[in-house]
Each structure stands twice: as C-alpha cells, then as structure tokens.
Structure 1
Amino acid sequence: MTFNPSYLYTPSSSRVSPPIKSKIDVLPIDQLKWEDFERLCLRLAQVDHGKSNCEVYGIKGQKQHGIDIFGYKGAKYASYQCKRYQTIAEIDLEEAVKIFQERKWFSKSNEFIFCTSCTLEKTQVQEKFLKLKNDLSAHGIAFIKWDKIQISSILKEHPQIVYDFFGREWVKAFNGEDFLNNISKERRLDAVQIANYRKQLFNV
C-alpha cells in the first residue's frame, strides 16, 4: 500500500515551451516547477521499485533527513534527493552527501541517488562526484547521479512519462512519432492540455 499524496499522480502543471527542433536528445527538465520535478523523480523511481514500493518522504516543512524519496531495495533502501538547480557546484554535491551521512537514512540505504534538473558536466564537479562515489562505496552505498542528461536518457524508454510531464510535441520530437501515436490512442490529456484546462477552470 502506498501513502503518497494524491497530487503526486496528477499530470504536470508546469508550462513547458514546445520543442523548436524536430529531433531532441535532452528534455527541458529545468523548466519544470519544483513540485513537478519531484513527481518526475518519483515516477522514475517507481519504474525501478514499483508504485507501491516507492514513496515521497515527508511533506513540505517537515525535516526530511537529507532525502525526498525512498524505495525498497531488498533489505535496505534506495534514497533519493531531488534538487531543482540551474547549476551545481562541488560544494552542493559535498553538502548533499554530508547531510545524508549525518542522518538516519545513511545506515538504512545501499543506494543514494542525487537527482537534479541541471547537468553535472563540469570537470571539477565530475571529479568531486567520483570522489564522493568512492567514499560512499566504502560504506556499501552506491552513489548515483540523475542529472538532466541521465534523466533524459532514462525517459527515452518511457514516452508515457514524457507525455504526462512535457506534452505530445515533446514525445514526438524526443521519443518519436510512433510512440506518440500509441499514446494518442488512449485519448489522455497531455501536460499542455492539462495546464490549459486548469487555467480555464481558474478563469471560470
């Protein structure tokens, strides 16, 4: 049984600009609102652990002990921290790991997944990540990064999630028209249609 609040399963409310090019390799994850970014990470975590085995930890304002989402991973947990940042510096990674190590989920977990809406491509950030990865590995914990590029790579295999968070035009440009046609047969509203529908309801 899952205890995630119902809003986590509603379509995205973010207004994401449509793609300009016809073939895209990276999604505009940085255009998502914080709440939608967290929900996107939850959806991806549920792909690994199952919907009933993955939950958001706590609610806004509560102490979350350095994590935002946890998933059952055998005898231990996969712990996720979600950061909607425009850029990431070495200190941000260091601080995220430090807080995680100091709190109770450190001893309960065998994976720590750092999720961010930006990229971790700068050499100094990559080197810091590798050092922290080795440090956590010594404690039996795998340190995994889900940045904008990695999340986009994962979403290549999940056009339905792309549809729910970014809209039909992004599925067409990112996943391909065949995937869009299969989703369209279900007659579900996409993220853009949901945002417009909510705006119309608000105006009423």
Structure 2
Amino acid sequence: MIEVSGVAGDDGWATGEVIPPPDLPRPLTVTAPQTLNTEDLSWESFELLVRAVALRVDGAVSATGYGVRGQSQHGLDVVAWLPDGTILGYQAKRYSSYTVGQLKTAVRKFAKGPRPHSPSIFYMVLACNDENTKLQNAFAELKREFPD
C-alpha cells in the first residue's frame, strides 16, 4: 500500500489516506524446498528419519532399528509393524550418489539373504537424488526379479 501525503488530486483521495497502487504485482511464489537436506544428517539421524517416516507416513505402530553398527544386518536397517501385522523393512542409504551396481547389490543381498523379521514390503530409502533414469530402470528390473 502507498501512503499519499499532500493535496488530494483528481482521484478524490483525501490527504494522508492509504490508497492502493494502480497495478499490483503478482504475489511472490514461495514454496517449501522440494528435497530434504539429508546430506547434513549423520547416518544415525538419517536412520531416525526413516523410522519417523515408517511411523508417520506409512502408518506403522512401531518402528525400530535392526542391529547395531558393525553387525551383519542382512540389508535391513529399520523394521516397522503396521496395525494389521504387516511387517515393513527399510534399508537406509545416506550417500551423496548411488549407482545402479550399488542398488542391485543391496537389493539382491536382502532378497537372497535370510530376511530377518520376514517383511512383506521392502523399502530402499536413498538420501541422494534418485531421478536418474538408469537407477529407476534398474529398480523396476529388480522389482520384476524379486516380486515378493
């Protein structure tokens, strides 16, 4: 808004009144960041974020880390339980980039391993950008290879 001081002009506004400008600019577009700054999190904090996603986004009633640092976790970092008893498994990868080879190795390690807690659904949670078409195609291939 513009405050006018002086003598009222032909527009009829009285001296000192607040009048709108003749043309308003479009409002600024302010959006939240499209990605989280996961690169600033420690691996422990990233894993806690994955647990929070299991609880608050996936609707789990319980979520816990699987194993401790240095133990063989068979490709499983977080286990969560839905209200209907469905078990979810999560592998948390806090890397700045992730390759097709790393993805294939990680998924196959879990799929061909002992599958602790026997999760019905397995999530690979990446802290890096996963929009690379090669990575997405490899993930689709792995889903066909391991439909269960």
Q: Which runs of 5+ in 1 are unaligned?
A: 1-21, 140-204
Say whether the 8 Å CA contact 2:74–2:116 is kept in structure 1: no
Q: Check if 1:49 corresponds to 2:49.
A: no
Higher mean C-alpha deviation, range 26-35 or range 88-97: 26-35
CA distance in 1 between counterparts of 2:130 and 2:35 reads 14
- TM-score normalized by structure 2? 0.70
Name the structure 1 match of 2:36.
27
2:92 corresponds, among 71, 82, 92, to: 82
Say whether the 8 Å CA contact 1:79–1:105 is kept in structure 2: no
Q: Check if 1:91 corresponds to 2:101.
A: yes
Q: Which runs of 5+ in 2 are unaligned?
A: 1-29
Cα distance change on mapping 1:39 and 1:65 into 2, 3 Å:
same
CA distance in 2 between counterparts of 1:133 and 1:35 reads 28
Alignment-mate amino acid for residue 42 of structure 1: R
Which protein, 1 or 2, shows the higher relative CO under an 8 Å CA cutoff with sep ≥ 6?
1
- TM-score normalized by structure 1? 0.52
Kindly report the root-mean-square deviation, in angstroms, between the aligned alpha carbons of the 2 structures: 2.0
Higher mean C-alpha deviation, range 75-84 or range 93-102: 75-84
Give the structure with the higher percent helix: 1
Rg larger for: 2
CA distance in 2 between counterparts of 1:136 and 1:122 reads 21
Question: Identity, % of aligned pairs?
Answer: 29
CA distance in 1 between counterparts of 2:76 and 2:133 reads 26
Say whether the 8 Å CA contact 1:76–1:108 is kept in structure 2: no
Name the structure 1 match of 2:12.
none
